Amino acid sequence: MSYTALFSRKSLIISFITALAVANVSGPQYIYPTYGTSLTNRFHWTPVENSMVSTATFVGVSFSGPLCAWFLENLGFKKTLFTSSITVFIGLFLLAQTYAGYLPGNHILCSIYLAFTGAAGAASYICALDSQGHNFKNNRGMSMGLTSASLGISGLVFSQVNDYFFKTTTSVNDEDDSVYNFLIFMGCTSAAISCIGAFILGPLKEDIQTTESKLSPTQQEEYTRSLIPDYLSSNQSISSFSSSSTRFEQDDERRPLLKNNINASGKHAAEFDDSSDCIFDEESERNISGIAFFTDPIGLASFISLLIMLGIGYVYLANIGEILLSLSDDLAKTEAQHIRNTHISLFSIANCLSRALFGTLSDVLQKRTGVHRLWFFWFAALSLISTLIYLVTSVASVAELIPCTIMTAVAYGILFGVAPAIISEFGTKVRD
């Protein structure tokens, strides 16, 4: 293996690991339950006010998506991640100062701080996903599923950090500074990792081409030969292989998700024969984005499914502290913190494993058996409905709540593990 090929492989590995790290600090909505109950007790918010604050990060994540995508498309990875790191630090710093009593404890202001924090997390996560989509085009389900899993496990990481290093030392809210220290720690960590990602994430194809152009003719020939599969004839010219391999790679990548995308011959894309010489007509492929995404049946079904089921899953997670207190009124503050962090960790583990497993499984079943990814949405919906029925009919203690937490997390993870791959296949041209 040549030095350049080895360099490109190392660059891919570093980019992949960095994307996972950035995704892991891009989930403020999963970390909020760790300290959310402390905010409610500190400022004595009403249920309505608490509901507004607890969903602020989720609202910031959800409704900032188009703006974050615009930032990424027009400003690039580096500026977007720098903006994200500054925003997340300011949001959490202001929330910490509010908790310490230096700023007004108004629930609307806290909601604004958390909404901006959620928007910053969404921007970082989109950068991580987009980087994976550019650099691992042939395994998008697996790479995006693992990146999504890293986001989902952020609750586990930070809840355990909170449980071991920021334990509540007193039952008096005004004398407890563990939440303040935790918010400062989370803001600094998230900002630092996002800044590191700004220098690493992004398409590596251009970087590799730039490196290759600096090689001598002999080194370039050696590098090109290292990328040519063994089954090619040795007398086949390098230029012929380069043009043909690039062409077929693009054809495979541009194969549309939707059946109504047709090729130049008028046949459905599903009938495209890899062994034949017919080439996809780029002009005839319909790229779906914007309003067209929501008017398409698959796009609309994906949107409604994600809106309802992800909303239910997040409301459960954000209010896990209140649910635990409703099941047992005699929990001490330190014990309640530990049990809350345990449920958040269980949710994160199940969420992470579900994202990675079903993201990869969707790739395997689609390639081998042709099973559409939307069938995973049906499975998630049935699992979530069954869990909610069990919750309202059978749960009467803290111990009985554990299966509900795990099953809700599994359904939640299925959606996030499969949805990025579904959506990324609607407009493949933006990935080229």
Q: What is the pLDDT of residue 339?
A: 86
Out of 160-169, 201-210, 232-241, 264-273, give the one with best mean pLDDT: 160-169
pLDDT exceeds 50 at position 241: no
Q: How far apart are CA 38 and CA 36, in angstroms?
A: 5
At position 346, the amino acid (one-letter code) is L
Confidence category of residue 216, pLDDT binned at 50, 70, 90: low
Of 321, 333, 331, 324, residue with least CA distance to 171 = 333
Q: What is the pLDDT of residue 205?
A: 59
Q: What is the mean pLDDT of residues 233-248?
A: 41
**Residue 349: count of CB within 10 angstroms of its CB:** 17
Q: Within a 13 Å sphere around the CA of 327, how many CA atoms are in the beta-carbon half?
A: 20
Residue 379, phi then psi, degrees to nearest 5:
-60, -40
Q: What is the pLDDT of residue 143?
A: 79
**CA torsion, points 301, 386, 57, 72, in degrees to nearest 10?**
-40
Q: Report the predicted TM-score, pTM, of the whole model to 2 decimal places.
A: 0.69
Asked if residue 56 lies in contact with residue 189, where contact means CB atoms within 8 angstroms, the answer is: no
Confidence category of residue 170, pLDDT binned at 50, 70, 90: low
Of 265, 326, 270, 302, residue with least CA distance to 424 = 302
pLDDT exceeds 50 at position 269: no
Residue 102, phi then psi, degrees to nearest 5:
-85, -20
pLDDT exceeds 60 at position 369: yes
**Residue 32: count of CB within 10 angstroms of its CB:** 26
Q: Which residue has the tokens 């009593």?
A: 101
pLDDT exceeds 80 at position 122: yes
Rounded mean pLDDT of the chain?
76
What is the percent of the chain where pLDDT is above 90?
19
Of 38, 181, 162, residue with least CA distance to 110 = 38
Q: What is the mean pLDDT of residues 369-397?
A: 84
| Residues 6+ away with beta carbon under 8 Å from 53 | 36, 39, 40, 45, 107, 110, 111, 114
| Residues 6+ away with beta carbon under 8 Å from 60 | 114, 115, 116, 117, 118, 119, 121, 122
Of 123, 97, 121, 120, residue with least CA distance to 110 = 97
Task: Provide the strand spans (E) within 358-411.
Answer: none
Partner residues linked to 262 by β-bridges: 268
| Per-position b or e across 320-343, b if 16+ CB within 10 A of its CB | bbbbbbebeeebebeebbebbbbb
Give Cα separations from 165 to 98, 161, 162, 168 (angstroms): 21, 6, 6, 10
pLDDT exceeds 80 at position 154: yes
Of 339, 335, 340, 346, residue with least CA distance to 319 = 340
Secondary structure class of 404 (helix, strand, coil): helix
pLDDT exceeds 60 at position 371: yes
What is the length of the chain? 432
Q: How far apart are CA 103 and CA 206, in angstroms?
A: 47
What tens digit of pLDDT does each residue of 337-359 get? 788 888 888 988 888 788 778 87
**Residue 385: count of CB within 10 angstroms of its CB:** 13
pLDDT exceeds 90 at position 95: yes
Task: State the Rg of the chain over Cα.
Answer: 24
